[in-house]
Structure 1
């Protein structure tokens, strides 16, 4: 399987109720178990952690290893830059422990001054699979410092050697990777540790699959899809808003077309509203709605749109003139239930 599959499975696992906190705990515990199985206990261990989730795995590993080993954790970077909630949580836990020594290294001069020869094992938790190119400072200096110990100290990387596949990467004895080996990994030994993904993830299609199926290369807003949602009425505003909010997680640009009366009840700065005069959609709104649809890739028509006669007429007219892929939902289905020929 590929690196991208990890991100898909993480999202789908969360959908099944398996939190990122659980996965990080299992990953760090898995690393600690492999280290002790390979090398024993009563060891002096240095763990180099970055501020990302790979570093978070290192925080957890440090806690588990500290029970029967002498552990020092080197945080490379500023703790204010610890990004995810789960990594931040495990860092705060670590700071409360008396039996894990912590040293924060914010610049390369502090790293270059280190002497690591007294350690039996170095655990590399600096960078994960999401980084590209050669490591930047101060991570680069940490990689070079770890590599000074090759042949003198056992070096274990979490998931993959930091910096891989660039020329500036940790020269690990092996890496503990999670759940399965990755197609992209070669040229270094891997030990696979299970972290609690259920077998069901092999067989389901979840939000992670949808997100990555729609992702395209590029950095331009809208390159991952533009969607128009037409809905809402004087009685209903929640359904079109929730549809737009859900779509926004996987589509770059979501436009929500609503009558201005229910639109006033939406106070979300991230929502792109396109209000129409009045309380309900009417025939006179047809041209404006059709023009909006020309600038998107697909349309959702109907959530909360209501069953007023004038609205039902608008729905039928819009469907007859459709030019883009369309999902017809809720009250819009009732508008065409007796005249399916317009489809």
Structure 2
């Protein structure tokens, strides 16, 4: 995967190892804390130049040390500053103790803080490393800040957000802005944590990036840098068969629209030919709406076997509007036996709720050629044990699901996670709220299918499809529908 500060993600534990490696290499660790605290102070002054009082809330660890540095820098800039501490500051150790000793502002116990008009809060209590519920005194301060409507600048991550999972640990500050260091953490992107961070600024405090790279967790922010080298390129010799044939299965006459949305999206994403395979009784309904997309009647497993004799028909989307039942399972089994590539969505996923192992075993061999696109409920039907495990993050669940299914998994949501069977994963961040509309998932399945048809590997097709889907939604605007969304899909060049 691509290397770079903008797309890199590290869990809090890995970032702690990077900090330790920097110190072991001879880098002055207090110098790093000094840079972090100064960066926080600069952000606070830039964002709130008219703040009447800057209230710095310092915790019992290195996040608190960053806060003491920020408080000193704010005072040096001429601002009115107050410091409140959690616990006994005399028990601070290492760099945090040094930072406090250099801070000229006497602190007061956290529980004594009371909001005042014009206060700007600098949250330096816990940061990204919290993995337990916040103590009652912090929960009470969070409540008072919320009630007073005071702006918060968070250091590393709003206190109360788990940096690994994005979970709220009892209570959490809702920051206007968050300053983090070297890389973002999963909790900056995963819900609900993302909603608490405000804008996020990543500041380079001077740790050599090779030390970050050494803690590669194969987790990145989704974007072109993760899949651009796998995308198809057009040349003068290209023709429709070289650009791949995508087949989308239609449901019955009363449920044909979803398949047509997926088919149109696949064509727009670059597949050279797209066919809607339809039950005979739904053929007229589909024919009335299809132009560049072809139509073929297929009713039985025997009909499908005939259709599969043409090996150019290599990529399929099954699920949108298809119906849940034995037909879906039989068709998937036929595609697996014929070594076809498949995007399994919606009803196609739910069809295996009673026997997920039948699906996984059908695609167990060889390089992944299955893409699963479950939302939260569908994920729980295929992977009930993973969905029910509170210790797992969304990234953990997606990775384990992908390994179990030998598939690329798109664990959908506003914080979609795309995982590969080999452990790679990306978190998507470009999807606007307007995508929460009927049919948008069918469009996504079609985009991924269109990329698969052009020879893009399963994980890269899934990750690129999710990103292109989000970009199309941004271009379509807040009033998008699934139909208008398709017109804004831009093929990757």
Q: Give TM-score scaled by structure 2 length.
A: 0.37
Name the counterpart of 1:174. 177
What SS is found at the alignment partner of 2:83? strand
* 1:167 Cα offset (Å): 4.2
Q: Deviations over 1:178-230 (max 9, x none)?
A: 1121123222231111111113324558xxxxxxxxxxx9xxxxxxxxxxxxx
1:91 matched to 2:100: yes
Pick from 155, 160, 163 the counterpart of residue 158 of structure 1.
Answer: 155
Gaps of 5+ in 1: 206-216, 218-343
1:127 matched to 2:126: yes
Q: 1:135 to 1:167 in 2, by over 3 A?
A: closer
**Comparing both structures, which one devotes a greater share of its residues to helix?**
2
Name the counterpart of 2:260. none
Q: Report the Cα distance in structure 2 between the residues aligned to 1:160 and 1:203, rounded to whole angstroms.
A: 21
* 1:42 Cα offset (Å): 6.9
Gaps of 5+ in 2: 1-8, 162-167, 189-193, 216-390, 392-493
The RMSD of aligned alpha carbons is 2.4
Name the counterpart of 1:70. 80
Q: Deviations over 1:231-254 (max 9, x none)?
A: xxxxxxxxxxxxxxxxxxxxxxxx
* 1:137 Cα offset (Å): 3.2
1:50 matched to 2:59: yes
Matches within 5 A, 1:1-343: 1-3=9-11, 4-40=13-49, 43-68=52-77, 69-82=79-92, 84-94=93-103, 97=104, 100=105, 102-105=106-109, 108=111, 110-111=112-113, 114-119=114-119, 121-150=120-149, 153-164=150-161, 165-185=168-188, 186-187=194-195, 188-189=197-198, 190-202=200-212
Q: 1:42 to 1:136 in 2, by over 3 A?
A: closer
Q: Report the Cα distance in structure 2 between the residues aligned to 1:5 and 1:144, rounded to whole angstroms.
A: 31
Give the paired residue count: 194
CA contact (8 A) 1:53 1:87 kept: yes
Q: Report the Cα distance in structure 2 between the residues aligned to 1:118 and 1:203, rounded to whole angstroms.
A: 42
What SS is found at the alignment partner of 1:34? helix
Q: 1:149 to 1:194 in 2, by over 3 A?
A: farther
Q: 1:139 to 1:199 in 2, by over 3 A?
A: same
Q: Give TM-score scaled by structure 1 length.
A: 0.52
CA contact (8 A) 1:77 1:104 kept: no
